[in-house]
Amino acid sequence: MNIIRYPERLEWNFLLKRSALQTESLRETVCEILEKVRTQGDRAVISYEEQFDKVKLNSLEVTEKEFEEAEKEVDIKLKAAIMLALNNIQTFHSSQKFASKKIETLPGVTCWQKAVAIEKVGLYVPGGTAPLFSTVLMLAAPAQIAGCKEIILCTPPNREGKIHPAILYAARVAGVKRVFKTGGIQAIGAMAYGTSSIPKVYKIFGPGNQFVTVAKQQVALRDVAIDMPAGPSEVAVLADETANPTFVASDLLSQAEHGADSQAILITTSETLIDKVAEEVDRQLSELPRKSLAEKSLQSSKLILVRNMQEAIDMINEYAPEHLIIETKDYTDIAEKITNAGSVFLGSYSPESAGDYASGTNHTLPTNGYAKAYSGVSLDSFIRKITFQEITREGIATIGPAIQVMAANEHLDAHKNAITVRLNEKL
């Protein structure tokens, strides 16, 4: 890992830079694949599955028999862990339900909102180097609680044409009835446009590689909504001299093993901690099965020593990490000063992996600094709020003259007349 001591603020932009997403170079390929999926449907999806996932499929949808076989293959301990996580995720997201409230802004003028579920949603779960069954829970649970009528899931199959059994088990217990064997750009295109097998949805959720990210951004221009822009995963640890270097090193490595383009950063006021963490990272790294991936990630990761805690807080808010772990003696006070982060983990016993799996919060979060403007996935991500207003004769008499003046000054005479005819109505 790179060790940086006492950087000047002018250096922060360069220091906190992420790995660049090569979106422009990918866009031509992405658009070509999307267009073929749009025009050729299942035929294109099956062809691209053979090209990219090296599997020749006769059909795309997972059968009931495959769901049943998957359930038998999942170890009972993993089933119990999945159910515990699902229960916590459901409990936390259920607490976010919207309560509608009517507001009388003036006598005779009443306004309110109603929460309505997005009817059709598509969940994307990557294949890649690990079966992300936890992402199934994070996306399907709030979709179910919101009341989405149609929830479909796309995920790439292996070379035998099978979906990992834990993904299918998680989908079934979380309430997803339809799962399709496709990944990458072709999966995003299929959900955006619809094919004879895969329904068109109104919003697409889920992480993915750079191709998936660009595909989501492309279809979002005019065809479908998406959850958020996404990039490689990242963690920042904010720590002082009281932090446990073994814990800090484990948190940095748990992020680094996600992939070669993941980023892990430690920002601390303690030089002693930096040295101990560096040693502990080397020790723990040697024992990891995914050592080679983590090593590549650590090449762009950093241990940063700053002058004081306020500087550390300012640097965190500038970086806007996807995940932030605060391991300091006064972590509650420091947390109040954090304004830019996707999800925050407080104290020595709140590792990022808790939120990734089972504490109940959602792990689908804004990356690449988007935490300055975006929230992570929540119940709100799966609903729309429709506004209503009811105005009585008394109400229109009260606000009508103001509307007339405003409409006249915007040169919108028909708007003004819609008020005038009501004000002039004879009883």
| Residue 415 marked as a ligand binder | yes
- The verdict on whether residue 186 carries a ligand-binding annotation is yes
CA dihedral angle for residue 88, residue 178, residue 206, residue 187, rounded to 10 degrees: 170
* 24 in a labelled binding site: no
pLDDT band of residue 198 (cuts 50, 70, 90) is very high
Domain boundaries, the chain: 23-106+118-226, 231-375, 392-423
How many residues belong to the chain? 427
What is residue 21's predicted lDDT score, i.e. its pLDDT?
Answer: 63
**Annotated binding residue at 417?**
no
pLDDT score of 118: 98
Residue 124 annotated as lining a ligand binding site:
yes
226-241 burial, b at 16+ Cβ within 10 Å, e below that, comes to: bbbbbbbbbbbbbbbe
Q: Which CATH number fits domain 392-423: 1.20.5.1300, 3.40.50.300, 3.40.50.2300, 1.10.3720.10?
A: 1.20.5.1300
- What is the model's pLDDT at position 65? 98
Query: What confidence tier does 227 reach under pLDDT thresholds 50, 70, 90?
Result: very high
Residue 264: name the closest of 182, 183, 319 by CA: 319
189-193, 225-229, 293-297, 328-332: least confident range:
293-297
User: Is residue 85 a contact partner of residue 134, using CB atoms and an 8 Å limit?
Assistant: yes
Catalytic residue from among 49, 280, 322, 327? 322
In terms of phi and psi (left: phi > 0; alpha: psi -120 to 50; beta: otherwise), the region of 169 is: alpha
For 314-353, give one letter per residue: b (16+ CB within 10 A) or e: bbbbebbbbbbbbbbeebeebbeebebbbbbbeeeebbbb
The C-alpha torsion from 26 through 30 and 31 to 35, rounded to 10°, is 160
In this prediction, residue 352 has a pLDDT band, given cuts at 50, 70 and 90, of very high
Q: Given this chain, do its domains 23-106+118-226 and 392-423 carry the same CATH topology?
A: no
Q: What's the pLDDT at 361?
A: 98
Is 169 within any annotated ligand binding site?
A: no
pLDDT for 129 beyond 70 = no
Q: What is the mean pLDDT of residues 182-199?
A: 98
pLDDT exceeding 70 applies to what percent of the chain?
Answer: 99
Distance CA 185, CA 125 (A): 12
Please, what is the average pLDDT of the chain?
95
Q: Does residue 363 carry a catalytic annotation? A: no
Q: What is the pTM of this model?
A: 0.94
CATH superfamily of 231-375: Nitrogenase molybdenum iron protein domain (3.40.50.1980)
Q: What does the pLDDT look like over 57-92, one tens digit per residue?
A: 999 999 999 999 999 999 999 999 999 999 999 999
Confirm or deny that 134 is annotated as ligand binding.
no
Helices (H) and strands (E) in the chain, counts: 17, 14
**298 compared with 41, residue with greater pLDDT:** 41
Write out pLDDT tens, residues 387-427: 999 999 999 999 999 999 999 999 999 999 999 999 999 86
Give pLDDT, residue 189: 98
Is the pLDDT reported for residue 109 higher than 80? yes
The span from the CA of 285 to the CA of 249, in Å, is 9
Instruction: Tell me the Cα Rg of the chain.
Output: 25
Rounded (to 5) percent helix, strand, coil in the chain: 45, 15, 35
Tokens coding 427: 């009883």
Dist. CA 327–CA 276, nearest whole Å: 15
Strands of the sheet containing 383-391, edge to edge, are: 103-106, 109-117, 383-391
Q: Which of 323, 327, 352, 363 is catalytic?
A: 323
- Local confidence band at 182 (pLDDT 50, 70, 90 cut-offs): very high
How far apart, in whole angstroms, are the C-alpha atoms of residue 264 and residue 3? 12
Cα separation, 97 vs 272, whole angstroms: 46
23-106+118-226 is classed in which CATH architecture? 3-Layer(aba) Sandwich (3.40)
Residue 230 has what pLDDT? 80
- The answer to whether the annotation marks 209 as part of a ligand binding site is yes
Residue with tokens 């002058």: 307
Q: What confidence score (pLDDT) does residue 128 get?
A: 67
Stretch (H or E) spanning 13: helix 12-15
**Residue 322 bears catalytic tag:** yes
DSSP 96-112: T------EEEETTEEEE
State pLDDT tens for residues 304-335.
999 999 999 999 999 999 999 999 999 999 99
